[in-house]
Structure 1
């Protein structure tokens, strides 16, 4: 899809090369980035993206090539705001030749790209494309410090550019959502049911004798591990499938606690910033997360509990503590509510605007 805004020749161009189907992380990030630009008063000249995701490897490559061609045709002496993707290596040189600059937003590393899109490994030279897409940036904003370290290592031989951390945000629907009333307390996992999300770990914790008797685990989402959740369904586990954001927010707001049991994979350990953690915080709900380094950093804010990534019973014990000690939950929830304003996309709008305006000034000087 190509959406142009007339009368804004000085505006930035937005490019998202991952599928931005509704409900995906890429779509959430695209919409949030647009909200930041709107809040900062930076006009958007055009948005280039695609909501399709099927068609197998051939269909995906065709979709990407179409986006590359659109982005190359749109190149001008302005700023391209884009989410990192290996195929950017075919786009950014064109923007520089036209006198433009590239504002790169990095939300994941090479391992996350392979985990999410295993077919990328079949493309010859893909590793070099990943590096070149980073080297082609004029300024880079990463979602956390682990990604800054990765980007700096990947760009070690390239000319230095500004690289900084810019926190992620979440949809406004999670703030002040009306809690759904199911008539009984429940623990909630929500999001993609991918192998690295710790689904088997979580289900093993639910089967543990340490899990509070009668406390139900609700699972919202879909993906590769959905069958494992279906197989576990019964009095203690309910799978509700995917939900639209506004309805999901009500389930989050009504939860006793939410779970983020991510595995310690190469893509998760130091570089993940789960939307589900920030969405829970936005709703004022505590989080229990596995103690991989990136989540340790996030929960240092005090809005949740950390558990051993290799010990499912530790998760069960943490759930039991939340259920048995209302004062603990109340303290964590109060911390979440106090931190919640920082989870709005507009919170970091001034930082994004400053980085873009610096590039616009650089264009004008030349």
Structure 2
């Protein structure tokens, strides 16, 4: 019987796991080096959808969407339904063909997605620029949310279920398993490392190597524009950027740097070149008669994590030492499902074989591929 569990990391996945563990009777302590959602979760875009072609990914996404909606019905968490559009531009036949191939596979998985030509796209979403669109797809089961709000609400629910939440507490991890704090070493029956970009160095302290790379991403929110909240979420596969309504303006995500970053030494501010390019990307995304923002409200950078096969590491990596990391930017949208999955595995349930972290040796070399990439 697993009686005591330490969860290291107070992001969306960590708080979800802590809540599930506590609700099932475990003695849970969550350790977060800053505030809840102060790292990758608080810097995430909050885009959610179930449009995956793989069987496992589609099932996980569907569970996550259902649980987001359940939480929104029961708490102050806001989950706004919003279609998710992705497209390829004229001249980008490789990605256009990838979209044409994806949609039938998604529909085979029961996903509510449609393939659209430029005329169909214009009719459904007149606020988008469509003149040079080769092909588009839309996922109707999609939404947007505030990731920090989700984490705060679920952390409160975890505490209500009996979990101890220790913020501003930096820890180390040993293979015993135990957690090392400034007050000493605390033994647990199991330890879950759900610390995003910090997962690899934390597990290395315990003598465990995992193939995770941290890569830098950037985002910007513009000043409000008339009708901004009526836009769909859009991923431009040819331009490799996404836009979504946020706070009355438009959130733009891009600026991916595909190399490994030190999670303790990186620039959290957005680059000037990214800011200038982001405003240009909004201009090419919107139909001519849609108002453009005059400027931006805020911009920032964040870290995402990558693995060799673009699937996360979720499960037991050493006896009673568990990991949940390597999300390729999809950690928030999967958190309600995979936080519960790893909590269940800690308590003796089956995990997801495709995400088993022991499928790797830990020293693999691999290129970073951004999560929304269409191939």
Q: TM-score, normalised by structure 1?
A: 0.24
Which one has a larger percent strand, Structure 1 or Structure 2? 2
Higher relative contact order (CA 8 A, sep 6+): 2
Which one has a larger percent helix, Structure 1 or Structure 2? 1
Q: TM-score, normalised by structure 2?
A: 0.24
